[in-house]
Copies of this chain bind each other. A is one copy, B any other.
Amino acid sequence: MSQVNLQLLAKELGLSIGTVSKALRDSHEISIETKKSVLDLAKKLNYSPNPYASSLRRKRSNTIAVIIPEVADSFFSLAIKGIEEVAQQKGYHVLIYLTYESYEKEQKILEDCKNGRVDGVLISVSIETTSLSHIDELQEHNIPVVFFDRTLEKVTASKITTDDFDSAYKATAHLVNCGCKNIVYLSIADMLFMNNNRIAGFRKALAEANLNDDTKQIVNCPNNAASTYTTIKHLLSGEDKPDGIIASVEKLAIPVYAICDELGIQISSQLKVVCFSTTAYAQILKPGLTTITQPANEIGKIAATVLFKSLRKASASADIEHIVLPSELQIRESAPECSLPSNTAD
- Given contacts A98-B94, A112-B93, are A254 and B77 in contact (CB under 8 A)? no
Q: Quick check: is A100 within 8 A (CB to CB) of the other chain?
A: yes
User: Which residues of chain B have C-beta atoms less than 8 A from A77's C-beta?
Assistant: 70-72
- Residues in B with CB closer than 8 Å to A9 are none
A284-B254, A285-B284, A286-B286 known; A71 vs B80 contact (CB < 8 Å): yes
State the CA gap A63–B97 with chains docked (Å): 11
**Nearest Cβ on chain B to A328's Cβ, whole angstroms:** 19
CB contacts (< 8 Å) of A320 on chain B: these are: none
A122 to chain B, nearest CB (A): 14
Tell me the bound Cα distance from A38 to B59 in angstroms: 39
A292 in contact (CB, < 8 A): no
**A residues 66-100 in Cβ contact with B at 8 Å:** 70-72, 74, 76-78, 80-81, 84, 88, 93-98, 100
**Cα distance A71–B76 when bound, in Å?**
9
A98 touching B84 by the CB < 8 A rule?
A: yes
Contact A72/B74 with A80-B98, A254-B280 known, Cβ cut-off 8 Å: yes
30 A-B interface contacts by CB (under 8 A): A70-B77, A71-B71, A71-B77, A71-B80, A71-B96, A72-B74, A72-B77, A72-B78, A72-B81, A80-B98, A81-B100, A84-B100, A88-B105, A93-B109, A93-B112, A94-B97, A95-B97, A96-B96, A96-B97, A96-B98, A117-B117, A251-B280, A254-B281, A254-B283, A254-B284, A258-B283, A258-B284, A281-B281, A281-B285, A284-B285
